[in-house]
Amino acid sequence: MLKCRAAWQKLAPLVRSSSTLCRKSAKQTVLKCESSFRPTQRASMSSGPPGGSSDNLLYYLLVGGTVIGGGVYAYSTLHGDKVRYQERIAEIVSRQNKELTPTELQPTEKGEGGSEKETAPPSEAPPVETEQPPLEAVESAPETVPRPEVPPHAPYLLIGGGTASFAAARSIRARDPGARVLIVSEEAELPYMRPPLSKELWFSDDPNVNETLRFKQWNGKERSIYFQPPSFYVSPQDLPYVENGGVAVLNRKKVVHMDVRENKVRLDDGSEISYEKCLIATGGSPRNLQAIERAGEEVIKRTTLFRKIEDFKSLEKISKDVKSITIIGGGFMGSELACALGRRARESGLEVNQLFPEGGNMGKVLPEYLSNWTTDKVKTEGVNVLTDSVVKSVSYQDDKLEIKLKDGRVVKTDHIVAAVGLEPNVELAKSAGLEVDSDFGGFRVNAELQARSNIWVAGDAACFYDIRLGRRRVEHHDHAVVSGRLAGENMSGANKPYWHQSMFWSDLGPDVGYEAIGIVDSSLPTVGVFAKATAKDTPKAAAEESGTGIRSENETEAVASGASESTKTPSSPQVPQQGEDYGKGVIFYLRDNVVVGIILWNVFNRMPIARKIIKDGEEHTDLNEVAKLFNIHED
Amino acid sequence: MSYCKQQGKDKIIFVTKEDHETPSSAELIAEDPNDPYEDQGLILPNGEVNWNCPCLGGMASGPCGEQFKSAFSCFHYSEEEVKGSECIEQFRTMQECMQRYPELYPQEEDEEDKQSNRNAAEGEEQPSPASS
Residues whose CB is less than 8 angstroms from the CB of residue A89 and which lie 6 or more positions away in sequence, other chains included: none
- Looking at residues A40-61, what average pLDDT do you find? 60
pLDDT of residue B55: 85
A14 pLDDT above the threshold of 60: no
A485 chain-B contacts, CB cut-off 8 A: 52, 54
> Are B37 and A557 within 8 A, CB to CB?
no
pLDDT of residue A106: 43
Average of per-residue pLDDT values in chain A: 81
Please, which pLDDT band fits residue A572 given cuts at 50, 70 and 90?
Answer: very low
pLDDT of residue B85: 84
- Looking at residues A190-203, what average pLDDT do you find? 92
B41 pLDDT above the threshold of 70: yes
Q: Would you state the torsion angle of the CA atoms of residues A279, A280, A282, A284, taken in this order, to the nearest 10 degrees?
A: -130
B58 chain-A contacts, CB cut-off 8 A: 170, 227-228, 232
> Are B15 and A531 within 8 A, CB to CB?
yes
Minimal-distance CA residue of chain A relative to B41:
A559
Summarised one tens digit per residue, pLDDT across range A140-169 is: 444 567 888 999 999 999 999 999 999 999
Q: Would you state the torsion angle of the CA atoms of residues A343, A344, A345, A351, taken in this order, to the nearest 10 degrees?
A: -100
DSSP 8-state secondary structure symbol assigned to residue B57: T
A vs B: CB pairs below 8 A: 142
pLDDT of residue B105: 83
A9 pLDDT above the threshold of 70: no
> Are B103 and A632 within 8 A, CB to CB?
no
Query: Maximum CA pair distance of chain A?
Result: 151
- Looking at residues A595-599, what average pLDDT do you find? 96
* Rounded alpha-carbon distances, angstroms, from residue A223 to A33, A167, A216, A399: 117, 18, 7, 40
A27 pLDDT above the threshold of 50: yes
Question: Residue A624 and residue B96: Cα distance in Å, rounded?
Answer: 56
- Looking at residues A408-428, what average pLDDT do you find? 96
Question: Residue B10 and residue A525: Cα distance in Å, rounded?
Answer: 6
> Are B37 and A175 within 8 A, CB to CB?
no
Q: Which ranges in chain B belong to alpha helices (H)?
A: 65-77, 88-99, 107-120
B23 pLDDT above the threshold of 50: yes
pLDDT of residue B20: 82
> Are A556 and B54 within 8 A, CB to CB?
yes
Are B54 and A559 in contact by the 8 Å Cβ rule? The answer is yes
Residue A374, helix vs strand vs coil: helix
- Say what angle helices A552-561 and A539-546 make with each other, to 10 degrees: 30
Chain A: give the shortest CA distance to residue B109, in Å: 15
DSSP 8-state secondary structure symbol assigned to residue A430: H
pLDDT of residue A258: 96
> Are A229 and B14 within 8 A, CB to CB?
no
Taking residue A546's Cβ as centre, other Cβ atoms within 10 Å add up to 20
pLDDT of residue A29: 52
Please, which pLDDT band fits residue A209 given cuts at 50, 70 and 90?
Answer: confident
Please, which pLDDT band fits residue A479 given cuts at 50, 70 and 90?
Answer: very high
Question: Residue A194 and residue A307: Cα distance in Å, rounded?
Answer: 8
Instruction: Give me the amino acid identity at A209.
Output: V
Nearest to A166 by CA among A100, A248, A94: A248
pLDDT of residue B16: 83
pLDDT of residue B10: 92
What Rg value do the Cα atoms of chain A yield, rounded?
39
Q: What is the model's pTM?
A: 0.73
Summarised one tens digit per residue, pLDDT across range A381-407 is: 899 999 999 999 999 999 999 999 999
> Are B15 and A624 within 8 A, CB to CB?
yes
What Rg value do the Cα atoms of chain B yield, rounded?
24
Question: Residue A150 and residue A49: Cα distance in Å, rounded?
Answer: 87
Question: Residue A573 and residue A433: Cα distance in Å, rounded?
Answer: 60
> Are A499 and B26 within 8 A, CB to CB?
no
Please, which pLDDT band fits residue A16 given cuts at 50, 70 and 90?
Answer: low
Residues whose CB is less than 8 angstroms from the CB of residue A290 and which lie 6 or more positions away in sequence, other chains included: none
Q: Would you state the torsion angle of the CA atoms of residues A549, A554, A560, A561, taken in this order, to the nearest 10 degrees?
A: 80
Strand partners, A513: A507
> Are A173 and B29 within 8 A, CB to CB?
no
Least confident segment among A112-116, A385-389, A536-540:
A112-116
Q: Which of A170, A626, A631 sits opposite B61 (nearest CB)?
A: A170
Q: Which of A177, A581, A620 sits opposite B26 (nearest CB)?
A: A620
**Most confident residue range from A25-39, A461-475, B48-62:** A461-475
Question: Residue A242 and residue A228: Cα distance in Å, rounded?
Answer: 19
pLDDT of residue B117: 45
pLDDT of residue A317: 93
A interface mutation test: which of B6, B11, B42 has the most A CBs within 10 A?
B11
Question: Residue A259 and residue A433: Cα distance in Å, rounded?
Answer: 9
pLDDT of residue B43: 85
> Are B54 and A246 within 8 A, CB to CB?
no
Residues whose CB is less than 8 angstroms from the CB of residue A78 and which lie 6 or more positions away in sequence, other chains included: A3, A6, A7, A10
B11 chain-A contacts, CB cut-off 8 A: 525-528
Question: Residue A618 and residue A585: Cα distance in Å, rounded?
Answer: 21
Summarised one tens digit per residue, pLDDT across range B87-132 is: 899 899 999 988 988 888 876 544 445 444 444 434 334 333 333 3
B69 chain-A contacts, CB cut-off 8 A: 177
A583 pLDDT above the threshold of 60: yes
Chain B: give the shortest CA distance to residue A367, in Å: 7
Instruction: Give me the amino acid identity at B46.
Output: N
Question: Residue A250 and residue A283: Cα distance in Å, rounded?
Answer: 17
Interface confidence: ipTM more than 0.90? no
Question: Residue A284 and residue A459: Cα distance in Å, rounded?
Answer: 9
Strand partners, A340: none
- Looking at residues A76-80, what average pLDDT do you find? 72
A109 pLDDT above the threshold of 50: no
Classify the C-alpha dihedral A570-A576-A581-A583 as positive or negative.
Answer: negative
Chain B: give the shortest CA distance to residue A319, in Å: 33
Please, which pLDDT band fits residue A18 given cuts at 50, 70 and 90?
Answer: low
Residues whose CB is less than 8 angstroms from the CB of residue A635 and which lie 6 or more positions away in sequence, other chains included: A536, A537, A541, A545, A566, A567, A568, A569, A571
Are A476 and A331 in contact by the 8 Å Cβ rule? The answer is no
Least confident segment among A169-173, A293-297, B50-54:
B50-54
Question: Residue A575 and residue A489: Cα distance in Å, rounded?
Answer: 51
A337 pLDDT above the threshold of 70: yes
Are A200 and A215 in contact by the 8 Å Cβ rule? The answer is yes
Least confident segment among A24-28, A265-269, A594-598:
A24-28
Are A262 and A272 in contact by the 8 Å Cβ rule? The answer is no
Chain A: give the shortest CA distance to residue B42, in Å: 7
